C-alpha cells in the first residue's frame, strides 16, 4: 500500500499495490529503488539515470542483453603479524610430521640392530629371560 503525503491535514492518500501496478508499474519499481539508495547528493543523479520499461518493449533492441557475472571476490591481505604466525604454525606442523617419520625410521633401525645383536650367548640369555617370565606367568595362572 502506497501512501502520499497529505496536501491538507487529515487528507492521507493511499493506493494499493495492485491499483498502482495497473496505473503505472514503473513508479512502483522507481520508488523501491529510490528507497534502497542512500539519501545524499548522488541520489537525484542516479534517479535521473534509472530507466524502467514496462513490458518487453525497450529502445535497446540493437544491443544484446548480457547476463551480469559477479567479479571474483578480492580477499584482503592478512596483516603481517597474523601472516607470520600462520607461517610459523605451518612450519611447526611440517617439523612435527618430519620428526615423527624420522622417529619411525629410527625405531625400525634400532629393531634391526637389536636383532643382529641377539646372537650366540646374547640370544641364549634372551631366551632364558623369556622362559623365566613364562614360568612366572604360568605360576599365577596367566597363560
Does any domain span residue 65? no
Asked if residues 3 and 12 have their Cβ atoms less than 8 Å apart, the reply is: yes
* Residue 38 located in a structural domain: yes
Residue 16 maps to a domain = yes
pLDDT tens track for 85-134? 889 999 999 988 888 877 776 676 666 666 555 555 555 555 555 555 55
Mean pLDDT calculated for residue range 40-54: 90
pTM: 0.39
Q: How far apart are CA 86 and CA 88, in angstroms?
A: 5
Residue with cell 493511499: 14
41 shares its domain with 90? no
Provide the domain limits for residue 127. 81-139
- Specify the number of domains making up the chain: 2
- Higher-pLDDT residue of 109 and 51 is 51
pLDDT band at 77 (very low <50, low <70, confident <90, very high): confident
C-alpha to C-alpha distance for 133 and 87, rounded to whole angstroms: 52
| Partners of 14 in the β-ladder | 3
* Interacting residues of 20 by C-beta distance below 8 A, sequence separation 6+: 2, 27, 28
Domain for residue 54, yes or no?
no
> Which pLDDT does position 43 carry in this prediction?
92
On whether both 45 and 85 belong to a single domain, the answer is no
Tell me, yes or no, whether 57 lies in a domain: no
Instruction: With a cut of 80, say whether residue 10 has pLDDT above it.
Output: no
Confidence of residue 14 (pLDDT cuts 50, 70, 90): confident
> 32 lies in a domain?
yes
Length of the chain: 143
Who wins on pLDDT, 36 or 56?
36
What pLDDT sits at residue 48?
92
**What is the distance in angstroms between the CA of the first residue and the CA of the last residue of the chain?**
89
Q: Mapping DSSP to helix (H, G, I), strand (E, B) and coil, where does residue 23 land?
A: helix
Separation between Cα atoms, residue 12 and residue 43, nearest integer Å: 26
Task: Decide if 108 is inside a domain.
Answer: yes
Whether residue 85 is contained in a domain is answered as yes
Amino acid at each position: 500500500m502506497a501512501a502520499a503525503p497529505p496536501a491538507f491535514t487529515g487528507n492521507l492518500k493511499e493506493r494499493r499495490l495492485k491499483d498502482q501496478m495497473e496505473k503505472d508499474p514503473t513508479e512502483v519499481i522507481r520508488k523501491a529503488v529510490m528507497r534502497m539508495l542512500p539519501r545524499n547528493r548522488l541520489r537525484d543523479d542516479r534517479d535521473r539515470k534509472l530507466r524502467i520499461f514496462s513490458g518487453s518493449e525497450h529502445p535497446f533492441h540493437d544491443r544484446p542483453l548480457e547476463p551480469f557475472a559477479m567479479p571474483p571476490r578480492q580477499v584482503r591481505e592478512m596483516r603481517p603479524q597474523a601472516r607470520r604466525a600462520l607461517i610459523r604454525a605451518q612450519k611447526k606442523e611440517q617439523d612435527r610430521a618430519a620428526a615423527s617419520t624420522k622417529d619411525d625410521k629410527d625405531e625400525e633401525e634400532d629393531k634391526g640392530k637389536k636383532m643382529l645383536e641377539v646372537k650366540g650367548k646374547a640370544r641364549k640369555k634372551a631366551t632364558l629371560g623369556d622362559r623365566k617370565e613364562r614360568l612366572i606367568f604360568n605360576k599365577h595362572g596367566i597363560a
